[in-house]
Structure formats: structure tokens, C-alpha cells
Amino acid sequence: MILPNTPLYQAKTDAEFRIRMIHHIKNTYKDVIGSDVNLLDLPNGLDLLQAKIQQRLYDMSNGEINLMPEELTNQQLAA
């Protein structure tokens, strides 16, 4: 995969990339994400935000769009 030649993608470590990505998401998508942007301050914030967005997309599409991992979908069906 070819990555853009920007500081975001030129991180030296995974931790540095994660910090840069969180900063980018906060600045770029804060209007779309709303108050959920605060989840990014938590250690597992990216995962929490991803799950919320996947659930929101699923709910808004009445189940037509399902980006949730299969094991989560199976757990929800069993409950």
C-alpha cells in the first residue's frame, strides 16, 4: 500500500502513529462525532469509538450495513 507523504503517516513507532491518528480524528471529525470525541482520551478510545460508529451505522440503515465483527453480531443475536 502506498501511503501519503504527510507527517501523519511518517510516524516512527506504532505509539506515535496512534497519537497522531487520534489527534487527526479529533481535529477533522469533531463536528461529526460530537461528544463521543471524548472517548478518544481513553486507553481503548479508538476501539470504543469504532464500535459506536459501527452500531450507529447499523441502526441508521436498519441492519442493511453491518461492519461489526462477526463474533459481536453472534453475541447480540444470542442475547
> Is 79 strand, coil or helix?
coil
pTM: 0.63
**Whether 21 contacts 13, CB under 8 Å:** no
Quick one: pLDDT at residue 42?
A: 92
- The whole-number pLDDT of residue 71 equals 62
Contacts of residue 6, Cβ cutoff 8 Å, sequence gap at least 6: none
Q: Which three cell numbers mark 10? A: 511518517
Residue 1: predicted pLDDT: 56
pLDDT in tens, 22-58: 888 999 998 988 999 999 999 999 899 988 888 888 8
Considering Cα of 64, then 68, then 69, then 74, what sign does the dihedral take? Answer: negative
pLDDT at 75 over 70: no
Grid cell at residue 36: 463521543
Answer whether residue 12 shows pLDDT above 70: yes
What are the extents of the domains in the chain? 7-78
